[in-house]
Structures are given as structure tokens and as C-alpha cells.
């Protein structure tokens, strides 16, 4: 099998609810990049990457130039066994892991289709039929956030990510966490996420003010050291996100004692190949994992669900149905949430078929 054509689309995804986060970050309408790798056998592999603006050193319009740079290595290559080809791409173009993420997902899709197996069978074997989801709550008024949480709870959700810091008012953040905890009652997981937007002082004040509650904190500060300082000051468990992006950062978070949980996002690490290696390291380090991606629709959602399903369920804190937060849906056969849980697709490879009518004509074709 040989790769014969690369096609790329830019698709605006509009959130059902605008997501407000600390430090001016938002998710309202965000551009996702879809990549199709065609072969001489008629099989097509699909990949997707959707960087959130101001979130990581990545941007959607940087994907196409990177793909053009890597095209000479891709075209004519055998796609089966993604890690071999990804190693060649890493030597050809250092870094740019977010752009490589979409390509890696598409290569895994092709490998699964060639083997006539779903990806979870190739990523370690299916360990779970379904996986828990979390519901992300935009940072608005505390009472409205409590209402959103209660509605999600009634639909079966039992894990709630409470966005904090959008107004720079630490006391309002205390109210957000207290009201959401009250709305969902004891038992469900509630964690407050600043997306790096807090100082260690303000995050510590919030954490101490809710220390009587069952609360976890997520990535309050921009550095692992400051996150560790907040964990030490509050005694509350900590989840890392933005700071966790490669082997060195995972080891650093573990060494600092602030990685009780960690977000493994495909585009941060560079696709399924690299995130699987991160998953296996976290199994050794003892951290619970949120297996997800930065943003996106059905393609990246399917990919992360396959990785989640092949991971020890005792170590999967949650996964994310990114496609459930946005429109349009890119694949009509994509998985959907059911009572707070979700299952990976069953078909070969990713197990989904993107709708070319939704995608429209490609913005870039290389052959």
C-alpha cells in the first residue's frame, strides 16, 4: 500500500455554548483542520487537529504549510505501522507536533482498515465497553454554572470541569465551585480549571476556601512549579493539562508531586503514537488520565475514544466527546454520549466515515 494523495480542509466549528476561560481564552467558533490520506488500494485514512487560540504554541493555519513540508516523505510511503513513518517525519521536520497529530491519526486509521480491526484492538486491546465523560462548564455567573451542572447531572453526567478565572475574581471562583458542588451533591467529581490563568496566590486562596469540599484543582498556573506550590498550600489533588505535553513534562509533574491526574491530549503529544507512549508512562507513574484532545469534532473524538478503551479502566479518569460540544458534526456515524458515558466506534480503523458534503471542496490537495 502506498500513499498517493493528501487532502486538507479548514472547517469552522461553532460551540453550542461559548466557553469562557481564564486569561481571555475562549472557545466560540474555532477552526479545525481535517486531513485525508488516500492510497493506491482505495482506502482513505482521516485525521483531525483543532488548536484552541492562545492555548498552546499551535494554530490551525500552521497545519497546511507543515503538511506541505512533509508531503515528499508521505507521498509514496507505506502507511501501515504509523510509528515507522512518523519517525521519518520527525527527522524531516522537527517539532510541529500538532500538525503531525492529524497525520498520525490518519495513518492509524489506514492501519486499522488494512488489518480490518478497530483501533483499540491495535492500541492494546479493548479494556472497557464504555468510558466516563466529564462535562465542561463555561466560566459565567456562579448560579448559571450551577444550573448547567444540574442539567448535565440529570442527563447522567457524573464528572464536572468548572472553568474558573474569566473575571479575575477569586471569591467568585470560590462561589462557582461551592454552587456546582451543591448542585450535583456528594460523590460526583468536581474540579476547577484555570487553564494556567491564575497566580499561585489567588489559586491558593480559592483552594483553601473550598478545602472542606471534595474538590480537585486543574492547572491553575503556567508552570509545574507554581502548580505544585498551590497543591502544597491547599492540600487538594491536582490535575495537570497545559504543562503535560511530552515525557520530560510528565516526569517533572510526577517529581513535583502535582500530577494526581493528567490530561493526555492527542495534539499536544503529536497523535495516537506519542500519546500511547505517554499513556504507558502514566501507567507506571501512577497518575489517573483524562484521555482527550484540545478541541475538535468526530474524527479526533473517535481517535481518543479508541485509546481510552484500550487503557486500564481503573486508570482512566475520563474521556471527552468533543464532537458533542460543537456543530457541524463531521461524521454522521460518530459516537454520542449516553448517560454520561461513551463507547468507541466498532468498525475498522477509526470506525467512522466523514461526510464530504459537510467538508466541501478541500483547501489543499497534494499528489
Active site residues: 163, 265
Helix (H, G, I), strand (E, B) or coil at 265: strand
Distance CA 99, CA 94 (A): 11
CA quadruple 312, 46, 277, 2: dihedral sign: positive
DSSP 8-state symbol, 167: T
Distance CA 81, CA 273 (A): 10
For strand 3-20 and strand 26-39, is the pairing parallel, antiparallel, or unpaired?
antiparallel
Residue 34, all three cell numbers: 481535517
CA 21 to chain centre: 16
Residue 39 near residue 2 (C-beta atoms within 8 A): yes
Distance CA 226, CA 210 (A): 19
Return the H-helix or E-strand segment holding 29: strand 26-39
Residue 149 near residue 180 (C-beta atoms within 8 A): yes
Helix axes 224-234 and 247-256, enclosed angle (nearest 10): 30
- With b meaning 16 or more CB within 10 Å and e meaning fewer, what string describes 7-39? bbbbbebebeeebbbbeebbbeebbbbbbbbbb
Residue 95, all three cell numbers: 517539532
DSSP labels, 42-60: S-EEEEEE-PPTTTSS--G
Amino acid at each position: 500500500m502506498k500513499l498517493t494523495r493528501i487532502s486538507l480542509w479548514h472547517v469552522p466549528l461553532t460551540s453550542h455554548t461559548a466557553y469562557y476561560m481564564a486569561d481571555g481564552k475562549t472557545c466560540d467558533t474555532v477552526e479545525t483542520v481535517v486531513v485525508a490520506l488516500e492510497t493506491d488500494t482505495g482506502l482513505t485514512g482521516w485525521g483531525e487537529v483543532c488548536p484552541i487560540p492562545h492555548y498552546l504554541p499551535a494554530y490551525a493555519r500552521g497545519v497546511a504549510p507543515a503538511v506541505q513540508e512533509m508531503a515528499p516523505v508521505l507521498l509514496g510511503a507505506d502507511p501501515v505501522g504509523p510509528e515507522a513513518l512518523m519517525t521519518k517525519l520527525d527527522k524531516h521536520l522537527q517539532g510541529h507536533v500538532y500538525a503531525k497529530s492529524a497525520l498520525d491519526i490518519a495513518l492509524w486509521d489506514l492501519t486499522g482498515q488494512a488489518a480490518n480491526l478497530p483501533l483499540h484492538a491495535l492500541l492494546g486491546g479493548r479494556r472497557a465497553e464504555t468510558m466516563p465523560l466529564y462535562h465542561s462548564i463555561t466560566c459565567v455567573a456562579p448560579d448559571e454554572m450551577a444550573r448547567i451542572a444540574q442539567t448535565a447531572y440529570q442527563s447522567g453526567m457524573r464528572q464536572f470541569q468548572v472553568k474558573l478565572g474569566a473575571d479575575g475574581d477569586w471569591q467568585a471562583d470560590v462561589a462557582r465551585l461551592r454552587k456546582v458542588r451543591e448542585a450535583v451533591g456528594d460523590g460526583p467529581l468536581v474540579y476547577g480549571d484555570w487553564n494556567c490563568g491564575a497566580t499561585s496566590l489567588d489559586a491558593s486562596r480559592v483552594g483553601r476556601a473550598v478545602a472542606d469540599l471534595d474538590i480537585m484543582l486543574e492547572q491553575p498556573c503556567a508552570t509545574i512549579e507554581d502548580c505544585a506550590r498551590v497543591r502544597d498550600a491547599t492540600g487538594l489533588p491536582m490535575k495537570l493539562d497545559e504543562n503535560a505535553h511530552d515525557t520530560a513534562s510528565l516526569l517533572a509533574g510526577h517529581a513535583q508531586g502535582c500530577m494526581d491526574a493528567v490530561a493526555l491530549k492527542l495534539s499536544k503529544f503529536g497523535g495516537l503514537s506519542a500519546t500511547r507512549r505517554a499513556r504507558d508512562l502514566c501507567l507506571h507513574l501512577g497518575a489517573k488520565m483524562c484521555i482527550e484532545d484540545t478541541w475538535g469534532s468526530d474524527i479526533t473524538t473517535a481517535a481518543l475514544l479508541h485509546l481510552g478503551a484500550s487503557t486500564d479502566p481503573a486508570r482512566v479518569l475520563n474521556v471527552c466527546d468533543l464532537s458533542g460540544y460543537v456543530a457541524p458534526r463531521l461524521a454522521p456515524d460518530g459516537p454520542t454520549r449516553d448517560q454520561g458515558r461513551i463507547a468507541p466506534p466498532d468498525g475498522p480503523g477509526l470506525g467512522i466515515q466523514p461526510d464530504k458534503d459537510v467538508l466541501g471542496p478541500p483547501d489543499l490537495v497534494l499528489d
